[in-house]
Amino acid sequence: MAQRFLMARPLTDEVVARARAEFDVEIRTETSVLTQDEMIRALQEFDVVMPTLGDVFGAEVFAVVPNPRCKLLANFGVGFNHIDVAVAEANGVAVTNTPGAVTDATADIALTLILMSARRAAEGERLVRTGDWPGWHPTQMLGEHVTGKKLGVIGMGRIGEAIARRCHFGFGMEVFYAARSDKTPGFDVTRVADVKSLAAAVDFLVVAVPGGAETRHLVDVDVLAAMQPNAHLINIARGEVIEQAALIAALEQRRIGGAGLDVYEFEPEVPQALRDLDNVTLLPHLGTATEEVRSNMGHMVLDNVAAFFAGQALPNLV
Ligand code: NAP
């Protein structure tokens, strides 16, 4: 029986062409997340499935398909918190992801958000577009200076370090971080005991930890309360790491300088309360959204699929 591969989303042209050339592949044309029925069919009818963000392969779906034909979930993306890896493994399904390919692009979006939030760029752009800009004057739209300020990184992994590097070398910022282990990136960084102390010490607090149960609401009401009134909170990781309701309250009461978000707790829902605020910059999960990065991610998925079909070790087993 031919080995079958399901790609749960259309990818870039070059990745689609390679997938069709190398595998017996079915490529789903919809861009929406998989339904429960689609996930069940995926596990029953394919040897390998490429899921991505929002495709919740959890205990519920594996309970319906306890002995799946599928033996590999080759996730498109480095974040895999939508997959219950322990349950997948217990059902004989390996999981791979796409680390590294996403690092620089996601760090670039963090810098975009730092600058946009600090310098009120989205608010200013709206002002120009609506025709309400009265012209330059010395005290108009004063934001937060970035160069030389203090950066705090929650989760100094690949992306966290790439953000710190840009801030250190590009903006002369002093870098602090909270993590589970000491990091030595090759430039000066200072580890802070916990997230709350980090929040109290910095001007820009950036979230770069994986999502999932372990980090859910790591930035909670107490962490937000510890932040300085001028400080900005940036999230390029996963929405659920920040207690969104508490962030909305802090922004509404102007207790922090602002926030820049690429991800949301109940994505793709973005609460009206957040959309009504001028002191938050809202991006639609743009972290890795460039043609070359999405192609690199796709090739990484296909490399894992090829290794699996060849019976070789999986390059990016999580
Ligand atoms: P990574 O290299 O695994 O880095 C994650 C870091 O988080 C590690 O340094 C880890 O610490 C730290 N960490 C984990 N749990 C922690 C905890 N409870 N407290 C403090 N630190 C903790 O991952 P990455 O490649 O940088 O990616 C990070 C996340 O970014 C992904 O999981 C994904 O969800 C998100 N992401 C978002 C986008 C986007 O489009 N916005 C794009 C790519 C990735 P140790 O090193 O000590 O274990």
110 lines ligand 1 (CB under 6 A): no
Which of these, 13, 25, 8, lies nearest to 306 by C-alpha position?
A: 25
Active site residues: 238, 267, 285
206 vs 156: CA distance, rounded Å: 10
164 vs 276: CA distance, rounded Å: 31
51 vs 39: CA distance, rounded Å: 9
Q: Kindly report the CATH number that applies to the domain delimited by 103-282.
A: 3.40.50.720
pLDDT in tens, the chain (318 residues): 689 999 999 999 999 999 999 999 999 999 999 999 999 999 999 999 999 999 999 999 999 999 999 999 999 999 999 999 999 999 999 999 999 999 999 999 999 999 999 999 999 999 999 999 999 999 999 999 999 999 999 999 999 999 999 999 999 999 999 999 999 999 999 999 999 999 999 999 999 999 999 999 999 999 999 999 999 999 999 999 999 999 999 999 999 999 999 999 999 999 999 999 999 999 999 999 999 999 999 999 999 999 999 999 999 999
Atom of ligand 1 nearest to the CA of 99: 25
Closest Cα to atom 5, ligand 1: which residue? 157
209 lines ligand 1 (CB under 6 A): yes
Q: Could you tell me if 27 and 19 are in contact, meaning their C-beta atoms sit under 8 angstroms apart?
A: yes
Task: List phi, psi (to 5°) of 296.
Answer: -60, -40
CA distances from 60 to 6, 45, 76, 252 (A): 20, 18, 21, 38
Atom of ligand 1 nearest to the CA of 159: 26
Q: Could you tell me if 180 and 209 are in contact, meaning their C-beta atoms sit under 8 angstroms apart?
A: no
Chain segment 61-89, per-residue pLDDT in tens:
999 999 999 999 999 999 999 999 999 99
What is the side-by-side order of every strand in the sheet holding 48-50?
A: 24-27, 4-7, 48-50, 72-74, 94-96
Q: How far, in Å, from the CA of 213 to the mean position of ligand 1?
A: 13
pTM: 0.96
239 lines ligand 1 (CB under 6 A): no
Closest Cα to atom 19, ligand 1: which residue? 179
- Shared fold status for 4-101+291-309 and 103-282: yes
Q: How far, in Å, from the CA of 78 to the mean position of ligand 1?
A: 9
User: Which of 52, 75, 76, 78 to mutate for ligand 1's pocket (most ligand atoms within 8 Å of CB)?
Assistant: 78
* pLDDT attached to residue 94: 98
Q: Could you tell me if 151 and 173 are in contact, meaning their C-beta atoms sit under 8 angstroms apart?
A: yes
User: Which of 53, 83, 96, 159 to mutate for ligand 1's pocket (most ligand atoms within 8 Å of CB)?
Assistant: 159
DSSP 133: -
Half-sphere exposure of 300 (CA within 13 A, CB side): 20
Q: Could you tell me if 232 and 118 are in contact, meaning their C-beta atoms sit under 8 angstroms apart?
A: yes
143 lines ligand 1 (CB under 6 A): no
- Fold entry, domain 4-101+291-309: Rossmann fold (3.40.50)
232 vs 203: CA distance, rounded Å: 6
* pLDDT attached to residue 2: 87
Q: 6: part of which helix (H) or strand (E)?
A: strand 4-7
Tokens of 273: 């309360």
Q: What does 156-183 look like in DSSP terms, one character per residue?
A: -SHHHHHHHHIIIIIH--EEEEE-SS--
31 vs 303: CA distance, rounded Å: 22
Chain segment 263-283, per-residue pLDDT in tens:
999 999 999 999 999 999 999
Helices and strands (H and E) in the chain: how many: 13, 12
148 vs 174: CA distance, rounded Å: 7
Collapse the DSSP code of 261 into the 3-class scheme (helix H, G, I; strand E, B; otherwise coil) and give the result.
Answer: strand
Write the single-letter amino acid at 138. Answer: P
260 lines ligand 1 (CB under 6 A): no
Hey, where are the domains in the chain?
Answer: 4-101+291-309, 103-282
Q: Could you tell me if 287 and 134 are in contact, meaning their C-beta atoms sit under 8 angstroms apart?
A: no
Tokens of 313: 């070790």
Three-state SS string over 20-87 comes to HHHCEEEECCCCCCCCHHHHHHHHHHCCEEECECCCCECHHHHHHCCCCCCCEEECECCCCCCECHHH
Q: How far, in Å, from the CA of 104 to the mean position of ligand 1?
A: 14
